[in-house]
Structure 1
Amino acid sequence: MSIVVTGATGRLGRLVVERLLETGVPAAGIAAVVRDKEKAADLAARGVELRLADYDDPATLTGVFRAGDRVLLVSGNEVGRRVPQHTAVIAAARAAGVAQLAYTGVLGGPEADFELAEEHKATERAILDSGLPHTFLRNGWYTENYTEQLGPVLEHGAVVASAGEGRIASASRADYAAAAAAVLTGDGHLGRAYELSGDTAWSLAEYAAEVAKHSGKDIVHRNVPAETHLEILTGAGVPAPFAAILVDVDRAIERGLLARGDGDLARLIGRSTTPLAETVAAALAHR
């Protein structure tokens, strides 16, 4: 039996593998599912088993999982292609007889009524239909979704969005990785759905103030109509379909759908979630 992490060279998957190692899971008991073994050479050098597969090629998933494995399906990052990708992973896991399939979905699960959530909801339904022992990790927003886009904010002195006064209960990507590791190594998680979010919800005006505080620059929050926001994003080179999804997310934020705070994340990781200020300060320090 191994703990298997798919998408293990991605930003979340790699952090999950690191967390497993930090908490004492032997490297030989961890399998990293990757498309490119060169990108995972550092993991292999530490004794982590590499299993090569591609979400887009179901044939490569045959034999990737073994009976009794505990598997983390990290959702794909290609919006519009994730349902067939995830379905292929689910089929392979079912055929292998894995002991657990944990899936990184979206906060709110079936109640999330914004466009970005649709593929996650379809994946949860497919997992339920498969009959696999499962755990749903319904991740809220990563604070890094904002701090990784600091360039334009610092250049223009503004956080531009269309979310109004909506609040976001975000946490760091490392927090979510720690939760996934806890679920993969602990007991009592089968059949559970965890609503994962940060301890404190914040507004984009508060985010702008934090960036100003830690950068020493004048940064304001500029709320714009959804149509204007869409024009700004497409003008900056964001493909129109994805820009529309981002604007729809801001509508969800304005309606409070990403402000939910159930405390599941802090309970799973055994500590408070990482504060907004800490992630902002770290991002600016590494620029």
Structure 2
Amino acid sequence: MILITGATGHLGTATIDFLLQKGTPASNIAALVRDEAKAGDLKAKGVSIVTGDYDNYASLTAAFKGIDKLFFVSGNDIAKRSQQHEKVVNAAKEAGVKHILYTSFVRKNETETSPIAQLAKSHIDTEKYLKASGLPYTILRNNIYAEYIPVFIGQQVLETGIFLPAGDTQVAFTLRSDMAEAFANILTSEGHENQDYLISNTSSVSFHDIAAIISEASGKEVGYVSPSTEAFVDTLTKAGVPAEVIGISVGFAGAFKEGEFASTDTDLEKLLGRKPTSVRQYLTKLFAA
């Protein structure tokens, strides 16, 4: 039995869909959700629904009973994530889970000097919990989703251009759907125990490249400006953007600029059995005139 956590989120749902496409019977898939009312689509596919919460240890041990492979999608509560993830790992061990796949992230800098140190800490902690647990694990060090590019560049990019203090460093943005397909392949095959996989694209782009691709696809000239961090914060503050959102944007822009996500060292092509979708392919389809 395979259990997918975060099952109503984009990555969890996509991974379940690929499992079904690849012939895994729905009766062999379980979905962990916090709110069963949001799992109607999964129920309709015949997937078993179990309720549980990363804050509730008892719910986790109950949900994990009888599970062979646990696809552990990282939580989104940054402040509590390390503690939550430790509960997940401990509950999986107590319940007798045979193999955990964890969605971590690629990085270059693991110190407090990283622009995204606060976000990174819980992933680094969780990898340590897994390796200390004695459970067979697979760590999936994911790059940034290509689907997040529209978030970073803004919905009005065709009118405003791109305004982000990310410099001109390359980023190996990777399509979430490609990741989900690769993860389904891992879940339905053997030989992945105690492996750390790099999940990045085989090509990378700068935000100058992204602007050029969008210009070509849309037929509208889209520019890219990399302002100082101070000018960026000032502009977004005056536009009424919440401080928390600005802080996250600044952190990721700084990480892009420092090359945290530039590496195209990857196991994804091998896991997919094909080249991953390029950012050019993704953006061209998204912004086709």
Aligned partner letter, 1:178: E
Alignment equivalent of 1:203, drawn from 178, 196, 206: 206
Query: Greater CA deviation, 203-212 or 55-64?
Result: 55-64
Distance in 2 of aligned mates of 1:21 and 1:238: 40
Q: Write the distance in 2 (CA, Å) between the matches of 1:233 and 1:177.
A: 33
**Residue 161 of structure 1 contacts residue 223 of structure 1 at CA under 8 Å; is this kept in 2?**
yes
1:268 to 2:271 alignment:
yes
Contact 1:28 1:49 in 2 (8 A): yes
The whole-number CA distance in structure 2 between the counterparts of 1:267 and 1:238 is 41
Tell me how large the CA RMSD over aligned residues is.
2.1
2:91 aligns to what? 92
Q: Does 1:39 align with 2:43?
A: no
1:148-178 CA distances to partner (integer Å, 9 max, x unpaired)? 564132342x111111111111111101111
Partner residue of 1:17?
16
SS of structure 1 residue aligned to 2:167: coil
Q: 1:110 to 1:129 in 2, by over 3 A?
A: farther
**Structure 1 counterpart of 2:61:** 62
Q: Which amino acid aligns with 2:16?
A: V
Is residue 249 from structure 1 mapped to residue 252 from structure 2 by the alignment? yes
Letter in 1 for 2:12: G
**Does 2:157 match 1:153?**
yes
Q: Secondary structure at the match of 2:39?
A: helix
Task: Name the SS of the counterpart of 1:72 in structure 2.
Answer: strand
Count of residues paired in the alignment: 284
Match of 2:191 among 163, 168, 188: 188
Q: Write the mapping of 1:99-110 to structure 2, written as runs, cut at 5 A.
A: 99-108=98-107
- Which stretch shows the higher mean deviation, 124-133 or 105-114? 105-114
Q: 1:97 Cα shift?
A: 1.1
CA offsets, 1:22-77, max 9 Å, x none? 11111100111111222221211221111111223333223101245200111112
Secondary structure of residue in 1 paired with 2:198:
strand
| 1:139 corresponding residue in structure 2 | 142
Greater alpha carbon shift after TM alignment, 71-80 vs 244-253: 244-253
Q: Which residue of 1 aligns with 2:81?
A: 82
Query: SS of the counterpart of 1:168?
Result: coil
Paired letter, 1:9? T
Q: Which one is further off, 200-209 or 110-119?
A: 110-119
Question: Hey, what does 2:133 align to over in structure 1?
Answer: 130
Please state if 1:163 is matched with 2:166: yes
Q: 2:236 and 2:193 mapped to 1: Cα distance?
A: 41
Change (3 A) 1:194 1:5: same
Contact 2:3 2:67 in 1 (8 A): no
Q: Who is 1:73 aligned against? A: 72
Amino acid paired to 1:170? F
The letter for the 2-side match of 1:255 is: E
How many Å separate the matches in 1 of 2:237 and 2:120? 22
Match of 1:227 in 2: 230
AA at the equivalent of 1:276:
V
Q: Distance in 2 between matches of 1:217 and 1:238?
A: 26
> Does residue 1:178 correspond to 2:164, yes or no?
no
**1:35–1:155: structure 2 CA closer, same or farther, 3 Å change rule?**
farther
* Equivalent AA in structure 2 for residue 258 of structure 1: F
Comparing 84-93 with 237-246, which one deviates more in the overlay?
237-246
Unaligned runs of 5+ residues in structure 2 are none
- Report percent identity of matched pairs: 38
- Matched-pair contact (CA < 8 Å) for 1:76–1:82: yes
8 Å Cα contact 2:229/2:250 also seen in 1: yes
